[in-house]
Amino acid sequence: MCGIVGYVGRQSALDVALDGLHRLEYRGYDSAGVAILDTAGALVIERRAGKLVNLDRALAELGPIPGTTGMGHTRWATHGGPTDQNAHPHTDCLGMIAVVHNGIIENFTALRDELERQGHMFRSDTDTEVAAHLLEQMLRGRLAENGADLAAAFTEAFRRTCRCLDGSFTLLAVHRDLPDLMLGARRNSPLVVGLGEGENFLASDVAAFIAHTRDAVEIGQDEVVELRADRVTVTDLDGSVTAPRHYHVDWDAAAAQKGGHPYFMLKEILEQPLAVADTLRGRLTADGAISLDEERLSPQDFRYVDKVFIVACGTAYHAGLIAKYAIEHWTRMPCEVDIASEFRYRDPVLDRATLVVAISQSGETLDTLMAVKHAQEQKARVLAICNTNGSTIPRESDAVLYTRAGPEVGVAATKTFLTQCVATYLVALHLARVRGTLFGDEIGRVVEDLGGMPAQIEKVLDTVEPVRALARELADSKSVLFLGRHVGYPTALEGALKLKELAYMHAEGFPAGELKHGPIALVEDGTPVVVCVPSPLGRNTLHGKVISNIQEVRARGARTIVIAEEGDDAVLPFAEHVIRVPRVPSLLFPLVATVPLQVFACELALARGLDVDQPRNLAKSVTVE
């Protein structure tokens, strides 16, 4: 989950590292640090606990650090608390080697015990420091073996170190006496190369170097990159040269800026109409087929599918729950939705006729990646829905559909959630077409409905000021409950999650039909209850039942807040507050109903004086299990 940036070139390495860290701070903000190889031959390290501004202040007091090779790190704490001592970079005993790390080294206890027996002195509580001392030990051994030149010995020692590490990691390393070389490696954790002219970059996300170059190189599993100003060499852990894939990033630095908004989240909520439009653009071919971005499966492979599993975490899991309704309705196939971290441990029944759909904004979510690997071990087909080109989950999958939402910096997902929902609808339509459960004209009508959604979302955004006012009014509430039926249920779950993430308050989402089976005991006088009401036209029986649920909670003192379609006046006698959304087909209801819930959570958190871009204890990309 940590953010990593490395640079070798001709610019000030400190300036490049700090700029990259500011763009990556969404990945972790417990502490931050830099290591710069200065022109005087010293390895200068500065690090501070807390947000990146603390490091900025310390560096301002320290003054300029001349040097054109360096790396930076912003941390989401796993091993060891968020202290100066535990902040990265970490060094070896002599201060010759510095490393930064993202992930978890699972065998660090055994490695540390052995290194301490060999005389190494540790200064932190982190697993990362083990890598610095192990690299020192390996380098010492390599030089003793054959007296090889330092660069060759350091590179081979780095490979040997990586071979000794269990778990997931992105690891960068520099040596004080090798000012023109930086080493990097990855296993189940993100690392990408940025290619410049006379300069090159390493980072956990292209956002770190997007202001300098949009040309990038993927680093594969268990691969090592040797980064110099004039060249990049990629090898496997045995030293054999590999041929990595180059790609071009299709957004620029401006897309990752706030654009005049005080918070990224506010900007990203407003970007949702465009994000949905971009996700849909060009998806329908002339013959009515749905076009995926990468497809290593044939139509026959899709026709052979007889069951779908969806695996995801957090907000993406809620998108998967919504997808279940569409897939089963349009394809008449059973669909199960699993929290990715539980998937492989329940021993699901998978085979070659199973399609596993993996949803991940970053494409690096480790729980989801492990679910993908388990599915492939069971011979299932895997289709990835992802927002990050070239990330691990798409590379490991048999087919890919990118959501094209652009960079999302706010930790709480907004535009990526809506585009994930749209992407799952497209997957459902693709399956329906190849299986023959929907005719071409039926698919065309759904695609036409989807094409109209950006305008409908824009309409919601134009009318949310009363939602903001209501959120400010309820800022002191102790708890908020969310209810829904059909696709309104996962919509309610997403609304509750946003409030938990941003406002740090108790919020729960329930199926409205479950009220009488326990949750209604939570309702007391004044409790805000948000109800997602289904269309009175699409599902009449559910509409009436949800109206009854509103009456039940209101009779017990709830403050009822109802999200209802335009023209649905049946809710008026029972709602203290009505939030209107456009009338859309039932399955597409989450695309309009989620938006006011995002605005509500964001505004309520702001009214409490909280940072909506960087909620406490959270990071954007979860790359540890």
The pLDDT of residue 285: 75
Q: What value does the mean pLDDT of the chain take?
A: 92
Buried b (16+ CB within 10 A) or exposed e, 77-94: bbbbeebeebbbbbbbbe
**pLDDT surpassing 80 at residue 539:** no
CA dist 470 and 620 (Å) reads 28
Higher pLDDT, 194 or 143: 194
Is the pLDDT reported for residue 333 higher than 80?
A: yes
460: pLDDT strictly greater than 80: yes
Q: Which residue would you say has higher pLDDT here, 258 or 149?
A: 149
Distances (CA, A) of 546 to 2, 364, 394, 580, 588: 43, 38, 39, 16, 18
DSSP tag of 295 = E
> What integer is the mean pLDDT of 439-450?
91
- Report strand pairing: 381-386 vs 354-360: parallel
CB atoms within 10 A of CB 521: 9
- Positions marked catalytic: 2, 620
Top mean-pLDDT range of 261-270, 280-289, 519-528, 600-609: 600-609
Does residue 540 carry a pLDDT above 60? no
576: nearest Cα among 603, 594, 558 = 558
With tokens 């020192």, the residue in question is 136
* pLDDT of 42 over the 60 cut: yes
* pLDDT for residue 141: 87
Rounded to an integer, the average pLDDT of 78-94 is 92
- Angstrom CA distances, 468 to 30, 42, 73, 411, 499, stand at 30, 53, 36, 20, 14
| Tokens at 2, concatenated | 């940590």
Which residue in 381, 379, 372 sits closest to 298, CA to CA? 381
pTM of the complete model = 0.81
Summarised one tens digit per residue, pLDDT across range 380-412 is 999 999 998 878 899 999 999 999 898 888 999
| 236-263 average pLDDT score | 82
Q: Whose CA is closest to 456, among 325, 590, 324, 567?
A: 590
pLDDT score for 538: 59
Percent of the chain clearing pLDDT 70 (strictly above): 97
Average pLDDT over residues 185-204: 93
**Per residue in 195-228, pLDDT tens?**
999 999 999 888 899 999 999 998 988 999 999 9
- What pLDDT, on a 0 to 100 scale, did the predictor assign at position 622? 74
pLDDT at 254: 65
**Domains observed in the chain:** 3-254 (3.60.20.10), 259-451 (3.40.50.10490), 457-612 (3.40.50.10490)
Pull the structure tokens for residue 211. Answer: 């202001």
Q: Is the Cβ–Cβ distance between 581 and 535 less than 8 Å?
A: no
* 557/554 Cα distance (integer angstroms): 5
Distance CA 78, CA 322 (A): 32
Confidence of residue 624 (pLDDT cuts 50, 70, 90): low
How crowded is the C-beta side of 88, counted as CA atoms within 13 Å? 34
**Cis bond before residue 262 (omega within 30° of 0):** no
- pLDDT surpassing 70 at residue 190: yes
- What residues contact residue 310 under an 8 Å CB cut-off, 6+ apart? 320, 323, 324, 335, 336, 337, 338, 356, 357, 358, 359, 424
The answer to whether 305 and 381 have CB atoms below 8 angstroms apart is: yes
pLDDT at 47: 96
Distance CA 112, CA 114 (A): 5
CA pair distance 414, 494, nearest whole angstrom: 10
Segment 469-515, tens digit of pLDDT: 999 999 999 999 999 999 999 999 999 999 999 999 999 999 999 88
List pLDDT tens digits, range 544-571. 899 999 999 998 999 999 999 999 999 9
pLDDT for 57 equals: 96
CB proximity list for 501: less than 8 A, separation 6 or greater: 411, 412, 601, 615, 618
Residue 195, classed as helix, strand or coil, is: strand
Q: Sheet containing 182-187: give its strands across.
A: 90-91, 97-105, 167-175, 182-187, 223-227, 232-236
- Average pLDDT on 108-113 reads 94
* Lowest mean per-residue pLDDT among 46-60, 146-160, 334-348, 580-594: 146-160
Closest CA to 411 of 27, 145, 88: 27
